[in-house]
Chain A
Amino acid sequence: MSDQAKSDPRRNDAQSSAAVAFPADLKFIPIMDNSSGGQALVRSRRGAEGPWRTAWRKLRADRAAIMAFGVLVLITAASLAAPLYARHVAQSDPFATNLNGEIVIDGQIRQVLEPSTEGLGLGFTPLGPTWDFGPYMLGADNQGRDVAARLLYGGRNSLLIAGAAALICLGLATLLGVVSGFFGGLVDTLLSRILDVLWAFPIFLLAISLSIVLITQSITIGPIEIRSGSLWLPTFIIGIVYVPYVARPIRGHVLSLMQAEFVTAAIGIGASPWRILLYDILPNVITRVIVFVPLILALNMMTESSLSFLSIGVQPPDASWGTIIQDGQGLLYSRPIVALAPGLAIVITVLALNILGDGVRDALDPKSSIRVV
């Protein structure tokens, strides 16, 4: 077609012969020298836009996702401010027991642990919430500690563990999935089998088994010694157990990419395997990994709280939202706020992560864009 469009003499020829039958004022307009003539005369509405920009534009337009992100930022900021809160608002150490503490409320001196009025009058009931922005805003737990301050410190650990475990999980899973899918052969078979077994292993029991074994004693691997109460233990365990969930789909994605025509074409023009891996495979895998980030974070939050609730996650005196719920279990009927508050914190955080996850998936998954035909 370009042949015809480019050769001027022939077009002149066409015009001159046309002039025989038509009025001379009928001037034909030459076709633009452009391979896509249909679009040549049209202003394009929007300049070419990369996939990242498209995704970012879609995500910004998703009000729910933006709000969820805002909520997450607020929760993170509040958790980071935990020491400030403890010092200036709660005015007590949220990790020290305070069995004989006293506090002035409405001009009255009250004990933090008041003798129980129910039943036989034995035992103590911790102070209920004051609902004032000050000491014991959410009341005390059964050791007289400030629940609100512990909630913020617990949020720190919950977020930290979820985040670090997500890094471990996604890093490991991407590595395994890409190596397995890209190199294939014996490596793939071996890795796939191992992942299969881990996949079939009930995730929760795997986490429990690992926790119970590791938390009973400190372990030493080479120069690194991990204390039994270290936060690293739950982090590692949670980071590892979900690896098959991410690695298997990534391996499948890499396998399908290896079959894609642009990879065949790259092989055809003699690109080196490393080039293909870096320029053709990884950029495509990364979007898939990003879609996983909020979802894995949410999953990690849930798992951490469950393990901590079963007392095989975060170990005392450290706190996490799961351990605070565990603390509150004994006070459930007398001081329900101790268990309710951290639970609500988990629900809000996980809900925000899930909403953000939906938004990120919609933004990065091309399938969700409008199909005209």
Chain B
Amino acid sequence: MLTALISRLGQMVLVMFGISVVAFLIFFATPGADPSARIAGRNASQETLVQVRHDFGLDRPLPVQYALMMKRLFISRDLTSFVNRGQKVVPTVLEAIPITLSLVLGAAVFWVLGGLIVGVVAGATRGTWLDRTLMILSLIGVSIPVFWLGEVANLVTQSRWHDSWLFSWVPPLGYIPFTEDPWGWFKALVIPWFTLATLYIGLYGRVLRASIIETMQEDFIRTARAKGIGERRVLLHHGLRTSLVAFVTMFGLDFGALVGGGALLTEVVFGLQGVGKLTYGALQTLDLPMILATVIYASFFVVMANFIVDVVFVFIDPRVRDAH
């Protein structure tokens, strides 16, 4: 068990290394352009270019450039932006993380609950109008671009019906720290949460329904029914419990992906200064050091989430537990 954990940790480090290399190569070794010009940003002066070349060791071989870059990202953490002169990139990213986490955690609560309800209800009422309605709604949810849904939500709650009793409580766009005003934090985030969760409620509801329907055909469900325990217990204690394995895997991966930049569009639309919004701002000004930092930090979140999923998996699926 312990050796399995260690070998998995080793794999994680390897994948992180791989990702950092890919990100590095994309920014520093793409053919056809001078990386120093990219890093320095739009319309950089000649001196800036020279300084960039020196700072990043661009006249030295690629492995050295890579090592220098990693050192500045993780050890000295003194990577600075050239667009916003003097802005230290790494602390800025670290400050933005709580906002992204607030957004993604809250949305996760919505989508796990929503996905469970939709999946179980549709799976249990397979073939009825309720099932069909839920599945059509889920499919629509899966087909809406999140940034557009966010704009529609803003249009409704900030402009068109903002003065009605329904949405007059909605604060202006932006983030309110939890430590300052917990209720305000909730009010500011509840619409972004729902917007971000819509896609995943549809996705998880569909996957869970399919999984439950497949599980309910299994022999052990027949055994459970033959035991004379009610259908509700058969569905939840045997059907759902067995289907949860797939559900948890998906959750871990999606959660990681969202913390690691997937929530970018939601943050942009709702004006939340999270990691994604930071990346977006950097995109607008072509602030490459910032983009590099957010990309690498974000990918590490994803890899870490994958690792946590693997560990949690061991606890929910006894078959995996013994496979090691």
Contact = CB atoms under 8 A, between A and B. Distances in A.
Say if the two chains contact directly (CB < 8 Å). yes
Interface of A: 193, 196-198, 200-206, 208-210, 212-214, 216-221, 298, 302, 305-306, 309-312, 325, 328-329, 332-333, 336, 339-340, 343, 346-347, 350-351, 353-355, 358, 371
Contacts of B15: 196-197, 200
Given A332-B155, A339-B148, A202 B299 contact: yes
B71 to A, nearest CB: 20
A340 B150 CA distance: 11
Contact of A218 (B32, B142, B145): B32
A340 B279 contact: no
A335 B153 CA distance: 15
B316 interface: no
A329 B306 CA distance: 35
B143 interface: yes
B32 A220 contact: yes
8 contacts: A202-B262, A202-B299, A206-B22, A208-B295, A219-B32, A347-B144, A347-B148, A350-B145
Contacts of B260: 202, 205
B291 A208 contact: yes
B191 to A, nearest CB: 15
A221 B284 contact: no
Contacts of B295: 202, 205, 208-209
Given A306-B147, A332-B151, A339-B148, A197 B18 contact: yes
A202 B298 contact: yes
A237 to B, nearest CB: 11
Given A205-B295, A209-B291, A325 B147 contact: yes
B26 interface: yes
A204 to B, nearest CB: 6
Contacts of A198: 22
A343 B158 contact: no
A200 B306 contact: yes
A355 B159 CA distance: 33
B38 interface: yes
Interface centre among A196, A311, A353, A354 (most CB of B within 10 A): A354
A214 B261 contact: no
Nearest to A353: B143
Interface in B280-324: 280, 283-284, 286, 288, 291, 294-295, 298-299, 302-303, 306
B152 A343 contact: yes
A122 B134 CA distance: 47
A354 B142 contact: yes
B257 interface: yes
Nearest to A198: B22
Contacts of A302: 145
A310 B268 contact: yes
A310 B18 CA distance: 27
A298 B145 CA distance: 11
A287 B131 CA distance: 28
Contact of B22 (A201, A306, A328, A353): A201
Given A202-B299, A309-B147, A355 B139 contact: yes
B261 A216 contact: no
Contacts of B148: 305, 325, 339, 343, 346-347
Contacts of B155: 332-333, 336, 340
The number of chain B residues touching the other chain, given as a range, is: 35 or more
A350 B142 CA distance: 9
B265 interface: yes
A219 B159 contact: no
B165 to A, nearest CB: 20
B272 to A, nearest CB: 15
Contacts of B143: 298, 346-347, 350-351, 353-354
Interface string B208-232: 0000000001000000000000000
A204 B154 contact: no
Q: Which 8 A-B pairs have the closest CB atoms?
A: A219-B32, A197-B18, A343-B148, A350-B143, A351-B143, A217-B33, A333-B159, A205-B261
Nearest to B262: A204
A203 B257 CA distance: 8
A309 B298 contact: no
Contacts of B27: 209, 213
B107 to A, nearest CB: 16
Contacts of B144: 343, 347, 350
Interface string B234-277: 00000000000000000000000100111011001000000000
A213 B26 contact: yes
B31 A205 contact: no
Contacts of B294: 205
B105 interface: no
Given A197-B19, A347-B143, A351-B139, 5 more contacts: A202-B257, A212-B288, A325-B145, A332-B155, A346-B145
Nearest to A350: B143
Nearest to A304: B145
A311 B284 contact: yes
B154 A332 contact: yes
Contact of A212 (B19, B32, B142, B291): B291
Contacts of A305: 145, 148
Nearest to A339: B151
Contacts of B18: 193, 196-197, 200
B30 A213 contact: yes
Nearest to B34: A217
Contact of B151 (A312, A343, A351): A343
Contacts of B159: 332-333
Interface centre among B144, B145, B268, B279 (most CB of A within 10 A): B145
B58 interface: no
A306 B280 CA distance: 12
Contacts of A340: 152, 155
B170 interface: no
Given A200-B299, A339-B148, A354-B143, A306 B265 contact: yes
Nearest to B284: A311
B140 interface: yes
Interface centre among A214, A309, A328 (most CB of B within 10 A): A309
Nearest to A348: B143
